[in-house]
Amino acid sequence: MIVYLLLVLFAATFLVLIVKRDEIAIIAILFSFFSMCYMFMNPEIMVFGFGGWSPPFGIVWVLDKLNVFLALLVTGISSVIAVYSLKYIKERRHRYYTLLCLITIGLLGVSLTGDIFNLYVFFEILSVSSYALVAFFLNEHAIEGAFKYLMVGSMTSLFILIGIAMLYGLTGTLNFADLASKISHDPPYMVALGLLVAGFSLKATIVPFHAWKPDAIEGTPAPIGAIFTSVSTAIGVYGILRILFIFNLIQINWVLILFGAITMLLGALMALVQVNVKRMLAYSGVSQIGYVIMVIGFGTLLGITSGLYHILNNALIKTLLFMGIGIGIYLTGKENLNEMGMKNTPLLICVGIGLLSLSGIPPLNGFVSKWLIFMASWEISPMLTAIAIIASALTLAYSFKIFSAMFLANRKIEAKVPKILLIPVIILTALCVFIGVFPQAGLNMIEPAVNALLNQNQYITAVFGG
């Protein structure tokens, strides 16, 4: 079943290059999104063994609630971006869509797999296509960002590989469920855990590993920046969560809380002083992931719920903002905030809502997850709540900077926005407002995922029983 989904994406990857029609890639990505919607409706944990091998020996893909939630998010964001890019990318579009299909395969594979080496393979597919997409424009900035990302990224991928090799040497298995039942908490296992967490935290951009992100995003097309700040970070956080889940260590973890708090503040402070739009949003993404990492470190029910909710909201908001600002870049051709003044009412409303939501103003989705985060951190320590509120205030400050530079500037360009660029932005804005007004709808999506994450035995029995 799931094999055909992969085959469709894989075939689309090469058909785009041969037939030179971009619509194929869009249809394939949309197809993966709708099939994930269908999978999401299914209440049980589904296990697919590749090649007819039973779980501990063959590669399995496990569709538990957390995996499917993430896959839904990933394919949804990818399909929105695929539609948007049809107009945004002007040259060499076939190669762009090939790489976009590959990145979707990588994201989907990482989020659905139940085998740790398979996870590494898909992670590398994701990484390699990301490096190529960073270099897409082939100008000086793009090449520089791509080289930095490639060096840092491949180094941490190798850390992940060392961790996997150590785990295999210690336990003799690669399957998540089998690993979970064989793992103990001795120092060698903990070294492997540290290596794996460090490797995934590069994609999630936790502070000492964050430096590649603004540099890479400054040279990319804006929709790819959206993928990096929203979905790719979600994959990184998922990796950390899944590794902690395997080690049965979803409990209070001061390492993550410490790194999360530092990430939150540093990202917001660095975003405050940027002049380039994409760079500012990249640092903003770093800051938002800090919240998620901090609340995941609490290990409580409320903490994990708010963390996953913030991943969802951050993905929606960041994609909306990157796309809205991408329209600005498309119209003006400039990325410096000074030169981006424009006059366009629908764009103003959408980007304005996105910025308000980013900084957590009440009737929007950013507030909902931030409120949950404040409540979760209040249970642990009021100090952490204070840090989160300070970071939130800084977020409001840099959001205002973007808004003022784009829409309140003196020099204004009056330009018509192409419809195909505006429609995805409007859809995402509507989603943001909807989740803000009916937060229970988002919570209903996340609660099964949190339950799946906190219930390790259920996962193990589902994999070996099915």
Residues 239-268 within binding reach of other proteins (CB under 8 A): 249, 253-255, 259, 266
Under rule CB under 8 A, which residues in 166-195 are in contact with other proteins? 168-169, 174, 185, 187, 190-191, 193-195
Report d(CA 215, CA 205) in Å as an integer: 13
**β 342-343/60-63 pair status:** unpaired
- Binding of other proteins by 7 (CB under 8 A): yes
Nearer to other proteins, 161 or 389 (CB): 161
Nearer to other proteins, 269 or 415 (CB): 269
C-alpha dist (Å) from residue 52 to 1, 55, 58, 427: 12, 9, 8, 41
Q: How far is the CB of 224 from other proteins (least distance, A)?
A: 16
Under rule CB under 8 A, which residues in 425-464 are in contact with other proteins? 436-440, 443
Nearer to other proteins, 80 or 207 (CB): 207
Q: How far is the CB of 277 from other proteins (least distance, A)?
A: 10
* Binding residue (CB under 8 A) for other proteins from 2, 15, 413, 454: 15
- Binding of other proteins by 393 (CB under 8 A): no
C-alpha dist (Å) from residue 151 to 8, 115, 135, 402: 31, 26, 13, 31
Under rule CB under 8 A, which residues in 130-149 are in contact with other proteins? 131-132, 135, 138-141, 143-148
* Binding residue (CB under 8 A) for other proteins from 70, 119, 202, 250: 202
- Binding of other proteins by 100 (CB under 8 A): no
User: Which one of 24-32, 68-76, 206-214, 381-389 is the stretch in contact with other proteins (CB under 8 A)?
Assistant: 206-214
Structure tokens at 266: 């540093």
SS3 363: coil
**Residue 59 neighbours by CB distance under 10 Å:** 18
- Binding of other proteins by 404 (CB under 8 A): yes
Under rule CB under 8 A, which residues in 406-425 are in contact with other proteins? 408-410
Nearer to other proteins, 208 or 382 (CB): 208
> What is the DSSP annotation of 366-428?
HHHHHHHHHHHHHHH-HHHHHHHHHHHHHHHHHHHHHHHHHHS-SS-EE-PPPHHHHHHHHHH
Q: How far is the CB of 4 from other proteins (least distance, A)?
A: 8
Q: Which helix (H) or strand (E) covers residue 413, if one does? A: strand 413-414
Q: How far is the CB of 165 from other proteins (least distance, A)?
A: 5
- Biggest CA–CA distance in the chain, Å, is 66
Q: Does residue 72 contact residue 448 with C-beta atoms inside 8 Å?
A: no
Nearer to other proteins, 139 or 381 (CB): 139
Report d(CA 209, CA 379) in Å as an integer: 29
DSSP letter assigned to residue 249: -
Q: How far is the CB of 131 from other proteins (least distance, A)?
A: 6
Contact code string over 42-81 relative to other proteins, x by CB under 8 A: ----------------------------------------
Nearer to other proteins, 158 or 383 (CB): 158
Q: How far is the CB of 151 from other proteins (least distance, A)?
A: 5
**Residue 408 neighbours by CB distance under 10 Å:** 11
SS3 361: coil
Nearer to other proteins, 18 or 41 (CB): 18
Spatial CA neighbour of 456 closest among 243, 177, 185: 177
Residue with tokens 């579009």: 93
Under rule CB under 8 A, which residues in 319-348 are in contact with other proteins? 336-338
Spatial CA neighbour of 279 closest among 137, 141, 77: 141
Q: How far is the CB of 251 from other proteins (least distance, A)?
A: 9
**Distance spanning both ends of the chain, measured CA to CA:** 15
